[in-house]
Structure 1
Amino acid sequence: ALRLDISVKTVEFHITRSLKQLRVQLKDYQFLWSFL
């Protein structure tokens, strides 16, 4: 955050958003795995 000259809150927000999107995408795969 310091190197990019942005606030820590901004970084936390983006990380949280990315993790949420990842979780949603992984749910789809979990659904597929249950068929195997």
Structure 2
Amino acid sequence: ILESSVEKWVDLGTSCLGLFRMGMNATNLSYIAH
């Protein structure tokens, strides 16, 4: 049970990190476009 919960937290962390990176890329692209 503990291992599965850790995997869920790791997946959540990687998902958030991926979204954060995409957001940063979008911000950079919009900044460059302007």
TM value normalised by structure 2: 0.65
| Structure number having the greater helix percentage | 2
Higher relative contact order (CA 8 A, sep 6+): 1
Structure 2 regions of 5+ residues with no counterpart?
none
TM-score normalized with structure 1 length = 0.63
Give the superposed CA RMSD. 2.0
Deviation beyond 4 Å, 4+ runs, structure 1: none
Unaligned runs of 5+ in 1: none
